[in-house]
Amino acid sequence: MRLFSKIKNMFKQEAKTDVKKEEKIEISTENEEVEQKIEAKEDNETKKNVESVKVYEKGLTKSRENFVSKLINLTNKYHKITEDYFEELEEILIMADIGVNTVMDFMDRLRKRVKQEHIEDVASLNEIIVDELFIIYVNDEVIVNKINFAKEKPTVVLFVGVNGVGKTTTIAKLAEKLKQEGKKVMLVAGDTFRAGATKQLEEWANRVDASFVGAHEGADPASVIYDGLTRAKEENIDVVLIDTAGRLQNKTNLMNELEKINRVIGKVIEGAPHETLLVIDATTGQNGISQAKSFKEITNITGIVLTKLDGTAKGGIVLAIKENVGIPVKYIGLGETKDDLQVFDIEKYIYGLFKDMM
Ligand SMILES: Nc1nc2c(ncn2[C@@H]2O[C@H](COP(=O)(O)OP(=O)(O)O)[C@@H](O)[C@H]2O)c(=O)[nH]1
Ligand SMILES: [Mg+2]
């Protein structure tokens, strides 16, 4: 079965199972109590997954409407596959921010498949397009989208990225998620540069009921982080989320600052930071890609958080990051509420982009 149909079945199936299980629980008797509990747990997970798919659907609306409508127009315009068709398709993909190199590779593969499988009409090509986009992303690799938790606590996650991309908001959203999982969380305000940045993080810490360490504006970020981590050890914290200021305008300064921060972190907690997440704003398109390349040069990035996917019609940027930067996208931001931060899942993403075509 093609991937397209597989994904479609997967998510439609899930919605159905959800209903069935609910009915079953209602008719259970007392001696089925244990079974019922297990089912309730499974049920809860299915429900969570269904909710998550909904967040993807909603957050990718702009991209879906843009992308799918263009593909449908193209299908209506050309019934047969011609060179003009290929050229227009190429343009649509590039306009969706998929990235020129990725699109070129994609077009090569598509052309080959059209030849090999003797495909003549345009309509049957849409499924193959979805299929190939998925293949490009997965590319024989195991996609690591989970946070690397340390064996011994605390796990330290450092957030980097330029101003305004959504670092502080993402930290708050992630803190909330971790709290819900029953973890003890601390937020550390390493962005001492911008006025109000520390206060913003402190307010979030209060709201999600996390511990907080910060200092006055202009304080040395490395020393704030040192204090934070020392306290995190004393307070038996599970996960420490560290905010930083991202002044990429001056690469040397930023590199020095991040080096110093990393040194201090490693000194207090061996092997830390366990994750360095680069936050990128999806609405900045190719600019975001160049930010990722620059940050990759100056520090060891272990994952990317792509925010504001809900605010762009060019959701293809996820694919461009994989191809051009080679760092896995671990989380995506699909809106401004805490539930809108989602672990990145390529299947849900593809479904969210193409569900109207399925
Ligand atoms: N629509 C949308 N807005 C977001 C998302 N993530 C962050 N924002 C908004 O982006 C703005 C800047 O966020 P902030 O966390 O202060 O950025 P920072 O400077 O990197 O710390 C805020 O108004 C956030 O509400 C997202 O996924 N979707
Ligand atoms: Mg901030």
- Residue 27 has a pLDDT of 46
Q: Exposure pattern of 22-53 as b/e (b: 16+ CB <10 Å)?
A: eeeeeeeeeeeeeebeebeeebeebeebeebb
Q: How far apart are CA 229 and CA 94, in angstroms?
A: 44
Express each pLDDT in 97-135 by its tens digit: 888 888 898 899 999 999 999 998 887 888 888 888 888
Q: Which of 38-52, 167-181, 187-201 shows the lowest mean pLDDT across its residues?
A: 38-52
Residue 34 has pLDDT above 50, yes or no: yes
Edge to edge, the sheet with strand 329-333 lists 211-213, 185-190, 239-244, 155-160, 275-281, 303-307, 329-333, 341-343
Mean pLDDT over residues 192-215, rounded?
94
Please report which ligand is nearest the Cα atom of 162. 1
| C-beta separation of 277 from 305 below 8 A | yes
Taking the CB of residue 123, how many other CB atoms lie within 10 A of it? 12
Express each pLDDT in 55-90 by its tens digit: 999 999 999 999 888 988 998 999 889 999 999 999
pTM confidence score: 0.86
- Residues around ion ligand 2, judged by CB within 5 A, are 167-168, 197
In this structure, what DSSP letter does residue 2 have?
-
Ligand 1 center to 53 CA (angstroms): 22
Express each pLDDT in 126-139 by its tens digit: 888 888 888 877 76
- Residue 100 has a pLDDT of 85
Q: Whose CA is nearest to atom 7 of ligand 1?
A: 166
Ligand 2 center to 225 CA (angstroms): 15
Query: Which ligand 1 atom sits closest to the C-alpha of 164?
Result: 19
Query: Which ligand 1 atom sits closest to the C-alpha of 341?
Result: 27
Ligand 1 center to 169 CA (angstroms): 6
Q: How far apart are CA 209 and CA 172, in angstroms?
A: 10
Residue 17 has pLDDT above 60, yes or no: no
